[in-house]
Amino acid sequence: MISVRNGHGDAFETKAVRTEALALHLPRRACVRLLAQPSVPVDLPVDPYVFGYWLGDGQSANGNICVGMQDYEHLRAELIKTLRAYEDLGEAHYWQNMMMLNIRRRPELCPKGHDRTDNPRFSKAGHPICRRCTNGKAKHLPTLMSLHERLKSVGVIKNKHIPDLYLHAGTHQRRALLQGLMDSDGHIDKAGRAGFTNTNRRIVDGFVFVARSLGYKPQVRQHNTSGWIVSFAVNSTAPIVRLERKAARVVVATSRQARMKYIRSVTELTPDGHDQSPIFRSVLEL
């Protein structure tokens, strides 16, 4: 099914076209509806919202996250929701009106999960030692990893980017990732359009990939001082931010241009070494 102009102003009509006919006689300005690409959830080492926020406002060398006082209570509540049973949230005043938050392993627990409160022991350097781990009987137990350790396991410490595991995660997981990125380095302009600004081109490219996979039409432009700016119309009621002050500014675009992609061409592809019917690929105008 495709949508084509019916010759009367800006009106469109929907019609069924066979793939072969679409390749031979592509209707002028044919378009397809923008939809989120469905996918099943996968196991992620870090909650996607937390990961997105850390990519925007986290310290590259560790798992610390910086947040302004106006968003502090909101972010603290969001992070607490994601805590694992062995974790707590560390807080510290960072600079003027900034706070630093850190998801860490509870201080009384050793990396294997033993409670060291009733059996304190310290090395010469002053580091706590777990008696039950030093006897060699805890080697089979899994290590309880802190946020910093989990970020290191996916290769993003001092190397911020969005790994393929997150780019191709479940639909709701990718949306949570987008919300984390938008709550940290995103904004909503006066017209209600969404924007994202970052100086790391790899993060920007990942953001664009995720946004497109969720049915948006992001446009990227370079700024002299701010790096790269991504902007797009919010074409669905699915939330793209969690911060109330940003959510209140969102305006859902209802125009056809915001909800459709126009087909520019259709190319015939023939699989090598297989006697099959031709496969056709549509090249979409992004």
Segment 207-218, tens digit of pLDDT: 999 999 998 989
d(CA 259, CA 216): 8
pLDDT tier at 164, thresholds 50, 70, 90:
very high
Which strand ranges, in their side-by-side order, compose the sheet holding 2-5? 12-15, 2-5, 31-33, 260-269, 279-284
Domains located in the chain, CATH noted: 2-33+257-284 (no CATH), 48-109+144-247 (3.10.28.10)
- Model's pTM, two decimal places? 0.80
* Nearest CA among 172, 169, 175, 171 for reference residue 154: 169
Q: What is the mean pLDDT of residues 268-280?
A: 47
Q: In this model, does residue 202 exceed pLDDT 70?
A: yes
Q: In this model, does residue 248 exceed pLDDT 50?
A: yes
pLDDT tier at 37, thresholds 50, 70, 90:
confident
Confidence (pLDDT) at 96: 77
Q: At 159, list the tokens.
A: 């190397």
Q: What is the mean pLDDT of residues 86-114?
A: 86
d(CA 47, CA 267): 39
Which of 20-29, 46-55, 60-69, 182-191 has the weakest average pLDDT? Answer: 20-29
- Distances from the Cα of 232 to the Cα of 26, 36, 282, angstroms: 27, 15, 22
